[in-house]
Chains A and B, each alone.
Chain A
Amino acid sequence: MASAIASTLATRPVRAVSHRATRDPAWARWTLTAVALLFLAFFLVLPLLVVFVQALDKGGAYFLATVREPDALASIRLTLLTVAIAVPANVTFGVSAAWAIAKFRFPGKSLLTTLIDLPFAVSPVISGLIYVLVFGAQGWLGPWLIDHNIRIIFAVPGIILATTFVTFPFVARELIPLMQAQGTDEEYSAVTLGASGWQTFWRVTLPNIRWGLLYGVILCNARAMGEFGAVSVVSGHIRGETNTMPLHVEILYNEYNIVGAFAVASLLALLALATLVLKSIVEWRQTGTP
């Protein structure tokens, strides 16, 4: 810390001289800053603000009543259940994929890395559709599932599967470059000194990747809680049973219960704000600037 301050102080005079050539005239600085802030105010601040203002339009009591209504509570429970399964599954996958890709050399590695990113290129609606094609009544496994009385599409398992697909790459793509950059020297030392594989992972690798892992989990969690398109296709929209929070928002909105829709939406907006705060904290920790 102290040495960092000392080194910035040392470079200060040099920077001051070089500034003239890289600096824009004052009018340009003011105009560009104003344009940027105005653009962000219109596209980011206003939408965020309108959610909270509309949510409280009929007062705090109405807000609380909407959020505590049984169907709303059921949607919150379902969203939490989905996240509790999809996120740990993708964390396990992400760590395992990063371990294989970053610590070993094998043919087909770059193909594997590209395939992991694939779900990001797929429209949410198509992400839901492909599960309907596999598990739906007319799908590959449809007849067998019906015979055995197992429901996946228009039921909770379909929602969890579609959410897992959509949030699939988040942890892996955060960890792969991080673990590649860290190399294998520390793990080699641990193994050479007699540590087992799991000991090496828990005591050496995990502490090294903890911030990157947390970052991936935060992004994965936000997307899992908020996913709409994919879940919408596989859900069946049964109130109190297969509606997640975003789907409950849609139902209330389409019933012209605008204030109710915004009340539930405001919970999701709070989650988004919490995500941004946590993300910034983790970023500052990673780069070392407080």
Chain B
Amino acid sequence: MTRTRNSRSILPGFGLSLGFTVAYLGLIVLIPLSAAFIRTAGMSWHDFVAAVSSPRVIAAYRLSFGASLAAGLVNVVFGLVVAWVLVRYSFPGKRIVDSLVDLPFALPTAVAGIALTSLYSPNGWVGRWLVPLGFRVAFTWSGVFVALTFIGLPFVVRTVQPVLLELEPEIEEASSTLGASRLQTVIRILLPELAPSLLTGFALAFARALGEYGSVVFISGNMPMRTEIVPLLIITKLEQYDYQGATAIAVVMLVSSFVLLLLINLLQKWSRRHQAI
């Protein structure tokens, strides 16, 4: 940002580093990704529509989008509470709790998957208390929701936390001095300040949940039409050598993810501007 020189820098290595970067990006990411789109472009429109809108596929979209949305919303509420508690209060072991929030990033998804299944199965530590109450979690919609909540947990906390840390205490003081109650200050002053980061955190968690596979397949039970998420359906199609069908669904998911990525970028720009004011 402070640089005023143009690309005729006296530093060496521009051609080498940019050349390697673009070549590596192309070979590892862009060319393989384009394969999905080019493969789909070879399908007739009729075949494509049939592949991406059969009842089984629609049921999978509904599950993946619905459970990701629900998990994202739960993470917005609890993520905000966790971020608030970690930034504003002090309690013994806070530093350990803070580090532990990143566990879903660090724990391999298959490990999370079998651990959650074991916890929520009818004779598991949590399941054995829930089943008598009529809540079946493992092998139902709720199981998918629990796994996606686990996987999205750090996103909201980690996007809200830095914003909360940098909030000036003066705005809360001003609000209090002008006669607002603490609750009014939180709802009218703090929440609007945090809204862009909450929304960004939600979008990141949602995007991650849409594509999630490892933590879900063990706990979901994988019943077609009922507990089959989209990534699993892609794998099922591949195992049946239906490459066209798998790729067509993948393209729908890729386009959804890219639109989300674009929205997240715009959101982050907006929240930076919001903070600058």
* B20 to A: closest C-beta gap in Å: 5
Could you tell me if B11 and A47 are in contact, using CB atoms closer than 8 angstroms? no
- Within the assembled complex, what's the spacing in Å between the Cα atoms of A128 and B15? 31
Q: In the complex, what residue of chain B is closest to A165 when comparing beta carbons? A: B28
Verify B17–A100 contact, CB threshold 8 A.
Answer: yes
- Near A by CB (< 8 A), chain B positions 227-256 give 230-232, 234-235, 238, 243, 246-247, 250, 253-254
| Residues B207 and A121 in contact, CB atoms below 8 Å apart | yes
Whether the pair B32, A131 counts as a contact (CB closer than 8 A) is yes
Which residues of chain B are within 8 angstroms of A140 by Cβ–Cβ distance?
35
Our pick among B9, B101, B110, B261 for the contact of A246 (Cβ within 8 Å) is B110
Please determine whether B235 and A269 come into contact, CB atoms closer than 8 angstroms. Answer: no
Interface core residue of B39, B103, B243, B246 (most chain A CB under 10 Å): B103
Say which residue of B17, B218, B235 sits within 8 Å of A125 (CB atoms).
B235
With A258-B118, A265-B114 known as contacts, the answer to whether A35 contacts B32 (CB < 8 A) is no
Nearest CB in chain A: distance from B241 CB, A? 8
The reply to whether A39 and B78 form a contact with Cβ atoms under 8 Å apart is yes
Question: Are the CB atoms of B89 and A51 closer together than 8 Å?
Answer: no
Expressed in whole angstroms, the Cα–Cα distance for A216 and B9 within the complex equals 27
Interface residues of B in 56-94 (CB under 8 A from A): 78, 81-82, 84-86, 88-89, 91
Is B41 part of the binding interface, using a Cβ–Cβ cutoff of 8 Å?
Answer: no
> How far is it, in angstroms, between the C-alpha of A122 and the C-alpha of B36 when the chains are bound?
12
Asked whether A184 is an interface residue with its Cβ less than 8 Å from the other chain, the reply is: yes
Residues of B within 8 A of A197 (CB): 11-13
Which bucket holds chain B's interface residue count? Answer: 35 or more
The answer to whether A233 and B18 have CB atoms under 8 Å apart is no
Q: How far, in whole Å, are A50 and B112 apart by their CA atoms in the complex?
A: 10
B198-221 contacts to A, CB under 8 A, are 207, 210-214, 218
B277 at the interface (CB under 8 A from A): no
Q: Quick one: closest B residue to A131, CB to CB?
A: B32
Chain A 211-256 residues near chain B, CB threshold 8 A? 219, 222, 225-229, 232-233, 245-247, 249-250, 253
Is A200 a contact of B11 with CB atoms below 8 Å?
yes
- In the complex, the chain B residue whose C-beta lies closest to that of A269 is B111
Q: Which of A94-147 contact B (CB under 8 A)?
A: 96-97, 99-101, 103-106, 112, 114-119, 121-126, 129-134, 136, 138-140
**A269 is contacted by which of B33, B107, B116, B243 (Cβ under 8 Å)?**
B107
Tell me the complex Cα distance, A136–B114, Å: 30
| CB nearest neighbor in A for B98 | A280
Give the CA-CA distance A222 to B238 in the complex, in Å.
27
Q: Give the residues in chain A near B276, CB-CB below 8 Å.
A: none
A103 to B81, CA, bound (A): 40
Query: Quick check: B33 and A122 within 8 Å, CB to CB?
Result: yes
Residues in B with CB closer than 8 Å to A161 are 28
Contacts of A280 in B (CB 8 A): 95, 99
Q: How far is it, in angstroms, between the C-alpha of A221 and the C-alpha of B105 when the chains are bound?
A: 12
Residues of A within 8 A of B103 (CB): 44, 48, 272, 276
Whether B231 pairs with A279 at a CB distance below 8 angstroms is: no
Contact yes or no, A47 B119, CB < 8 A: yes
Contact (Cβ within 8 A) B114 A32: no
A63 close to B (CB within 8 Å): no
Task: Decide yes or no whether A40 CB sits under 8 A from chain B.
Answer: yes
Cβ contact within 8 Å between B2 and A183: yes
Cross-chain contact of A105 among B6, B91, B214, B218 (Cβ < 8 A): B6
How many interface residues does chain A have, given as a range?
A: 35 or more
In whole Å, how far is A193's beta carbon from the nearest beta carbon of chain B?
12
* Minimal beta-carbon separation of B36 from chain A (angstroms): 5
Per-residue contact bits, chain A 5-37, to B (CB 8 Å; 1 contact, 0 not): 000000000000010111011001100110111
Asked if residues A130 and B110 are in contact (CB atoms below 8 Å), the reply is: no
Which of B11, B39, B213 interacts with A191 by CB under 8 Å?
A: B11
Does A61 lie at the interface of the complex (its beta carbon under 8 Å from any beta carbon of B)? no
> Which chain B positions have C-beta within 8 A of A196?
12
For the complex, is A209 an interface residue (Cβ under 8 Å from B)?
no
Q: How far is the CA of A261 from the CA of B253 in the complex (A)?
A: 31
Q: Does A286 contact B (CB under 8 A)?
A: no
Q: Does B97 contact A (CB under 8 A)?
A: yes
Say whether A187 faces chain B, with CB atoms less than 8 Å apart: yes
A122 near B211 (CB under 8 angstroms)?
yes
Q: For B10, B22, B211, B261, which residue has the most chain A Cβ atoms within 10 angstroms?
A: B211
CB-CB contacts below 8 Å: B18-37 with A: 18, 20-22, 24-25, 28-33, 35-36
Q: Does A46 contact B (CB under 8 A)?
A: yes
Contacts of B172 in A (CB 8 A): 21-22
Give A118 to B231 CA distance when docked, in angstroms. 18
Contact call A115/B149, Cβ cutoff below 8 A: no
Question: A117 touches which one: B118, B238, B260, B261 (CB < 8 A)?
Answer: B261
**Distance A277 CA – B30 CA, assembled complex (angstroms):** 34
Closest residue on chain B to residue A135 by CB atoms? B32
List which A40-73 residues lie within 8 A (CB) of chain B: 40, 42-48, 50-51, 54
Extra inter-chain contacts (7) besides given A22-B176, A249-B110, CB under 8 Å: A35-B78, A96-B20, A97-B17, A168-B29, A184-B9, A229-B231, A253-B114
Task: List 10 interface pairs A-B (beta carbons < 8 Å), by A numbering.
Answer: A21-B176, A32-B81, A44-B101, A51-B115, A122-B257, A188-B11, A227-B108, A233-B235, A261-B114, A272-B108
